[in-house]
A and B are shown apart, each in its own frame.
Chain A
């Protein structure tokens, strides 16, 4: 597959998108044995983590720096945030974990974005809601190691046994004498003590946490409200020029000719040139670069740019064609059986009742608010980049590959990111900026316009599901079949987020379940979009279960709990898998908090849905009214979640509220269509984002559980669309099987 234009979408992110364990060997070069030793979770849990290195590359003399996550000296306590901040809150929550075990007062702590250093930090990326679960053990150890050294230094200084010392709020305290030594004063002497073995450290019992689980405001909020430069788009370097890049509207097209000479003569333009591209869709596509004295001069010149595109290899993708194909294919069995449990045919033959339904959903865009950008400075055979990327490590490799240089010649500085949602897992903006800077011969800031952004996304794929399920005499679901019509780039593997082969709820819970897949050829690249796969499968399966409950004349809540069955992990020994007991608990809690079963006024209903993704268990109940013109009002959404211990309660609630709003925004009216390979939407006028007046009230309830914590960027989103559609059914008796629901005449 090395010649595929899609190879940049590498295996690590595919694995994350599938929520599969990332192979250790891909993470870092430590041996398997050492890796297992460090994570130290036998037979379950998230097998991710890495060795704490004693000497970080950026160590400074005189400071206590037992690992790369903190530095304590006479001036203060500095914590390093290793992963990109995309709005998921990890620049605050990851250092909070260190501070808790360090016993540092949060107000005493400063936080800095860490440099990119795989040896010191392991993989640094934002994706798959993995920052918290992948770093939970390591960060606790990082804080505890420093704390142990500070206590050892204090014991020596005070000449008392270790056991008589405690720590609190950045001080070592000797209770018997009331003496207190500040961490900052102890740091220099503590640095002389050996760094303790991370795995031997005693970590705090969760009941003794002072910081974790409280509400902490984001570490960058002070800078944000002052408008200080934080984001990629805010970066400047001396002598920097401004660049734009025009690519073929249909992916794969190349430049046949362009009015380059005329563009070069435009006011403020320094240079214009064609880049051939490297043949990879998420790296460098062919196009015309314009470098100018200001962003506006570059944008103006781009408006005058005329390019004749060679469309021989360009995408010809058409959504309307895909719909026609799916309409035919759905009447037949799928190409591949990817799940085949029990005997579905026998279940259907014995059915007391069976139900067929066809669900469809459109492609959607990430539409993060900060358009893609990157500042690059090529000089002396090396390149330095300031990039809003979710995957800086992968970006370094992509840039090195495109420029044909060693990755050690690529330096990336992490900038705060104005929204990720999965789009910035792919680093096309980095490779473009690097290539333009080298060709131009100086530092440039590449700026995509909103139109560039919307036409060159790696889209969440649309899809189609022909479902059939049977009910037995008691109204129980006895058989389930889903013929999923998805898309493929290579004629074999389904696109990112378009694969049910690992089993999708309720597979694994029903005795008789078959999932078949047929993949349509599709050239325009598809990518991971918040809760890949789950964000659409949740809608399909949780709506259809409600359809079955209604057909059986049973309470949806009872049917859902019946499907889950006895409390158990569904993946043997895998504590990242669905636990049916945790699932039942969140469903019952959401139902209770929302007043499930209460009588509702005419035209108003409650809808329930559950989904499990990224190790997070979520149930949501939507309260929706619908008027005669299919105008809906979502009054309230009640969310119950079990994600293990909460790190930052404020951030956690914010993620859930945001997921509800995003879910609603997407299901209401977002749709990307293609004709002749060209995206038909270009800006927020044709791709609407939910606004304040249509935002429901949202109640968030976390179950305080002792399991390994998981991330919150994604798992709250999938249940929203089915909960709202089920509520619309409850209010009107009309079943929605298409997203966005604007296609069926609904609006807000």
Chain B
């Protein structure tokens, strides 16, 4: 029996093998398909989730290693009543996505970045986001959206 704290709720998984990466537990066992499979080897960042607020690659993290810690997935960002975070809102306002497949990982990475650095420079954004591939090439909009979200959070703080 695996017990995970996902998006503030305790979830029990009975039949997942011990070696199962967190990615596949989230997707196949818990039905949280917002987290994406891209490369399976921590290169592309599509599977990024937050573990106690830190971005990790769920494709290469054994699920049991996340036991007892707080896991946040893309489904857990908005508030209970559906209010989006400034990062999510910026992604809509700036029409960031093309195919959208990588954007879960980008949004999770951006969320973690702004938590640790509320006003990042272009260079700091580049460094923080360099692990996330966007095959469609939306990097300029991602950078812009992070800056907008930073500004929105700064105003409301």
> Could you tell me which A residues sit within 8 Å of B by CB distance?
85-89, 215-218, 220-222, 224-231, 233-234, 236, 242, 267-268, 293-297, 299-300, 367-371, 416-421, 447, 449-451, 650-651, 654-655, 657-662, 665, 683-685, 689-693, 695, 697-698
Closest beta carbon of chain B to A387's beta carbon, Å: 15
Tell me if A227 and B32 are in contact (CB < 8 A): yes
Chain B residues, Cβ within 8 Å of A419: 99, 101, 135-136
By secondary structure, the B interface counts as loop
Tell me if B140 and A685 are in contact (CB < 8 A): no
Closest beta carbon of chain A to B3's beta carbon, Å: 18
Give me 17 other A-B pairs in contact (C-beta within 8 A), A87-B100, A685-B43 excluded: A221-B95, A227-B104, A230-B100, A233-B33, A234-B33, A296-B21, A300-B19, A370-B36, A418-B99, A419-B136, A420-B99, A450-B38, A658-B136, A661-B136, A685-B41, A691-B132, A692-B126
In the bound assembly, the distance between CA atoms of A226 and B73 in angstroms comes to 10
Residue pairs across A and B with Cβ atoms less than 8 A apart, 11 shown, are A87-B101, A221-B97, A230-B100, A295-B37, A296-B17, A296-B19, A420-B99, A657-B141, A684-B39, A685-B43, A692-B134
Digitize B43-61: 1 where CB-to-A-CB distance is under 8 Å, 0 elsewhere.
Answer: 1101000000000000000
In the bound assembly, the distance between CA atoms of A698 and B138 in angstroms comes to 11
A369 in contact with B46 given A218-B97, A418-B36 (CB within 8 Å): yes
Residue from the list B15, B74, B133 in contact with A227, Cβ < 8 A: B74
In the bound assembly, the distance between CA atoms of A304 and B132 in angstroms comes to 30
Tell me if A226 and B88 are in contact (CB < 8 A): yes
In the bound assembly, the distance between CA atoms of A654 and B142 in angstroms comes to 11
> B65 at the A/B interface (Cβ < 8 Å)?
no
> Could you tell me which B residues sit within 8 Å of A by CB distance?
15-17, 19-21, 24, 27-29, 31-41, 43-44, 46, 73-75, 77-78, 84, 88, 91-104, 107, 125-127, 129-143
In the bound assembly, the distance between CA atoms of A683 and B44 in angstroms comes to 10
Tell me if B39 and A691 are in contact (CB < 8 A): no
Tell me if B142 and A227 are in contact (CB < 8 A): no
Tell me if B98 and A369 are in contact (CB < 8 A): no
By secondary structure, the A interface counts as loop
In the bound assembly, the distance between CA atoms of A236 and B31 in angstroms comes to 9
In the bound assembly, the distance between CA atoms of A660 and B93 in angstroms comes to 22
In the bound assembly, the distance between CA atoms of A420 and B99 in angstroms comes to 9
A226 in contact with B78 given A87-B100, A89-B98, A657-B138 (CB within 8 Å): yes
Tell me if A698 and B35 are in contact (CB < 8 A): no
Tell me if A295 and B28 are in contact (CB < 8 A): yes
In the bound assembly, the distance between CA atoms of A86 and B97 in angstroms comes to 11
Tell me if B137 and A658 are in contact (CB < 8 A): yes
In the bound assembly, the distance between CA atoms of A256 and B70 in angstroms comes to 48
B129 to chain A: closest residue by CB: A692
Chain B residues, Cβ within 8 Å of A691: 129-133, 139
Tell me if A654 and B78 are in contact (CB < 8 A): no
B39 to chain A: closest residue by CB: A450
In the bound assembly, the distance between CA atoms of A689 and B133 in angstroms comes to 7
Q: Which 10 A-B pairs have the closest CB atoms?
A: A227-B34, A661-B137, A87-B99, A418-B101, A227-B74, A87-B98, A658-B137, A234-B33, A225-B88, A296-B24
Chain B residues, Cβ within 8 Å of A299: 40
Chain B residues, Cβ within 8 Å of A224: 91, 97, 100, 103
Q: Interface centre among A215, A665, A689, by most B CB within 10 Å?
A: A689
B28 to chain A: closest residue by CB: A294
Chain A residues, Cβ within 8 Å of B126: 692-693
Chain A residues, Cβ within 8 Å of B125: 692
Tell me if B33 and A268 are in contact (CB < 8 A): no
In the bound assembly, the distance between CA atoms of A167 and B140 in angstroms comes to 38
Chain A residues, Cβ within 8 Å of B39: 450, 683-684
In the bound assembly, the distance between CA atoms of A100 and B35 in angstroms comes to 36
Tell me if B91 and A695 are in contact (CB < 8 A): no
Tell me if A449 and B29 are in contact (CB < 8 A): no
Tell me if A417 and B99 are in contact (CB < 8 A): yes
Tell me if B93 and A217 are in contact (CB < 8 A): yes
Chain A residues, Cβ within 8 Å of B92: 217, 221-222, 225
Closest beta carbon of chain B to A329's beta carbon, Å: 35
Tell me if A369 and B133 are in contact (CB < 8 A): yes
Tell me if B34 and A226 are in contact (CB < 8 A): yes
Chain B residues, Cβ within 8 Å of A689: 44, 133, 135
Tell me if A692 and B139 are in contact (CB < 8 A): yes
Q: Interface centre among A225, A300, A367, by most B CB within 10 Å?
A: A225
In the bound assembly, the distance between CA atoms of A220 and B99 in angstroms comes to 10
In the bound assembly, the distance between CA atoms of A87 and B129 in angstroms comes to 21
A696 to chain B: closest residue by CB: B140
A231 in contact with B101 given A651-B95, A692-B142 (CB within 8 Å): yes
Tell me if B127 and A660 are in contact (CB < 8 A): no
Tell me if A369 and B101 are in contact (CB < 8 A): yes
Tell me if B140 and A650 are in contact (CB < 8 A): no
Chain B residues, Cβ within 8 Å of A300: 17, 19
Chain B residues, Cβ within 8 Å of A368: 99, 135
Tell me if A684 and B88 are in contact (CB < 8 A): no
Residue from the list B43, B127, B129, B130 in contact with A683, Cβ < 8 A: B43
